[in-house]
């Protein structure tokens, strides 16, 4: 169940990223320009994702701590 | 407490929530959106600002359901559920309000003047006043709760008040803003759900997963708070 969900979302994200990067042929040969293209929107995505993942990790930690407390009971 | 069948202790929906949010942040910022005057790229706020209100509404609904469950069974567990869902819903409401304030000051404000000069017009918008009333009613819920010492009385009174507060949500955020002229979009129908007018197919592909992701994140935080209160209830902490 969990594996299926993970697979589904990873495919979803891959498809979206490939969507967003569609460009004329002349651009495709250039390298390492993802973070500089499209008005550097990818930098914003990276920042926003970092904050999101940081917050999620924090919530996961709290979850773990509460689980531990519950087990100690 | 080792009730492992309870959804609170499962992790699949927490993973789903995080995956949906990562999807929201990536696709929401990168995929094409309709090019509309005044809104421009801020239309992407649909995946964030509007989702806050959707999550708030869902969490308040869960809260009132648990209040009713408490009144039917007088099981203190449901009182804890109702309170924590209401608190997290309020947080989401505040976030929705704050993000709305930022968004409005760049789209509703007169672009030729500093945003602060348009403040009096924006602050008088019925949608904002309605949302403020709704949130204040729920602040009163928390104050009322915490001012009663006796546990059963506290649970019973706040459960009844919760039902009234939920009933107040509908005139305050759904009905009143639709009757009065408002700058806020979506007064003619169902904002962000109107398939024909409001939102392109491309955006719906992100908006619905975003609503589910944000709501699940809210539920996750709520379950953490519930588990802590249940522990406190058992005399583990404090």
pLDDT digits (tens, 9 = 90+) for B191-236: 556 555 556 677 888 889 999 999 999 999 999 999 999 988 887 5
Q: Do A16 and B26 touch (CB under 8 A)?
A: yes
Structure tokens at A41: 């929107």
pLDDT of residue B36: 74
Number of domains in chain B: 1
Average pLDDT, chain A: 76
> Is the CB of residue A5 less than 8 Å away from at least one CB of chain B?
yes
Q: How far is CA B229 from the centre of its chain?
A: 22
Q: Is 60 exceeded by the pLDDT of residue A25?
A: no
A27 CB within 8 Å of a chain B CB: no
Q: Is residue B1 part of a domain?
A: no
pLDDT at A16: 64
In a domain, B155, yes or no: yes
Domain contains B59: yes
Number of DSSP helices (H) and strands (E) in chain B, helices first: 8, 0
Task: Note the pTM of the prediction, 2 decimals.
Answer: 0.80
- Output the CA–CA distances (angstroms, integers) from residue B40 to A18, A22, A37, B106, B108, in the order listed: 23, 21, 19, 11, 13
User: Which stretches within chain A are classed as H helix?
Assistant: 2-20, 25-28, 41-72
Q: What pLDDT, on a 0 to 100 scale, did the predictor assign at position B89?
A: 96
Give the largest CA-CA distance in chain B: 61
Lowest mean pLDDT across A32-41, A64-73, B27-36, B199-208 = A32-41
Given this model, what pLDDT does residue B193 score? 60
ipTM of the complex as predicted = 0.71
Residues near A24 by beta carbon (within 8 Å), at least 6 away in sequence? none
In a domain, B77, yes or no: yes
At residue A21, the pLDDT reads 55
How high is the pLDDT of residue B158?
A: 95
* Nearest-CB residue to A41 (from B23, B29, B231): B29
pLDDT of residue B93: 94
- Residue from the list B14, B23, B237 with its beta carbon closest to the beta carbon of A9: B23
Interior/surface letters B154-167, b for 16+ CB within 10 angstroms, e for the rest: bbbebbebbeebbe
CB of B97 within 8 A of CB of B56? Answer: no
Question: Cα distance from A63 to chain B (closest Cα, Å)?
Answer: 6
From B106's Cα to the closest Cα of chain A, the distance in A is: 19
Residue B3 within any structural domain of the chain: no
Q: Which residues of chain B have pLDDT under 50?
A: 1-2
Cβ–Cβ < 8 Å for B75, B184:
no
- Please report residues of B whose CB lies closer than 8 A to that of A19: 30-31
Write out the residue range of the structural domain in which residue B189 sits: 11-237
With 80 as the cut, is the pLDDT of residue A48 above it?
yes
In a domain, B186, yes or no: yes
Look at residue B4 and tell me if it is in a domain.
no
Q: What pLDDT score was predicted for residue A58?
A: 92
- B205 vs B20: CA distance, rounded Å: 11
Supply the pLDDT for residue B74.
Answer: 93
- In this complex, which of B1, B19, B30 lies closest to A20 when CB atoms are compared? B30
B1, B15, B26, B91: best to mutate for the A interface, most A CBs within 10 A: B26
Predicted local confidence at residue B168, as pLDDT: 92
Query: Which residues fall within 8 angstroms of residue B145, CB to CB, at 6 or more apart?
Result: B83, B154, B157, B158
In-domain check, residue B156:
yes
Chain B hits for A59, Cβ within 8 Å:
217, 220-221, 224
Judge whether B125 and B178 are in contact, CB under 8 Å: no
| A9 CA: distance to closest CA in chain B (Å) | 6
Torsion, CA B223, CA B228, CA B231, CA B233, rounded to 10: -100
């Amino acid at each position: 169940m969990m594996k299926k969900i993970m697979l589904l979302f990873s495919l979803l994200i891959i498809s979206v990223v490939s969507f967003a990067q569609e460009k004329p042929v002349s651009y495709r040969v250039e390298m390492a320009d993802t973070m500089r293209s499209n008005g550097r929107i990818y930098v914003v995505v990276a920042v926003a994702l970092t904050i999101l993942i940081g917050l999620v990790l924090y919530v996961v930690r709290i979850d773990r701590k509460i689980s531990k407390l519950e087990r100690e009971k | 407490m080792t009730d492992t069948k309870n959804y609170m202790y499962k992790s699949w929906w927490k993973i789903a929530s995080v995956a949906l949010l990562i999807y929201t942040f990536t696709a929401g910022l990168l995929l094409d959106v309709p090019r509309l005057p005044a809104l421009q790229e801020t239309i992407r706020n649909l995946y964030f600002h509007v989702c806050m209100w959707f999550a708030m509404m869902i969490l308040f609904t869960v809260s009132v359901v648990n209040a009713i469950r408490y009144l039917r069974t007088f099981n203190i567990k449901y009182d804890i559920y109702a309170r924590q869902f209401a608190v997290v819903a309020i947080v989401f409401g505040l976030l929705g309000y704050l993000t709305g304030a930022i968004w409005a000051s760049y789209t509703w404000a007169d672009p030729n003047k500093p945003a602060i000069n348009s403040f009096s017009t924006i602050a008088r918008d019925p949608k904002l006043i309605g949302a403020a009333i709704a949130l204040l009613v729920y602040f009163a819920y928390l104050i009322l709760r915490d001012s009663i010492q006796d546990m059963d009385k506290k649970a019973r009174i706040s459960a009844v008040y919760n039902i009234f507060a939920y009933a107040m949500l509908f005139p305050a955020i759904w009905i009143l803003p639709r009757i009065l002229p408002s700058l806020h979009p979506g007064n003619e129908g169902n904002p962000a759900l109107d398939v024909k007018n409001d939102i392109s197919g491309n955006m719906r592909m992100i908006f619905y997963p975003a609503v589910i992701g944000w709501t699940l994140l809210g539920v996750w935080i709520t379950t953490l708070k519930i588990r802590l209160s249940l522990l406190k209830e058992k005399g583990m902490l404090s």
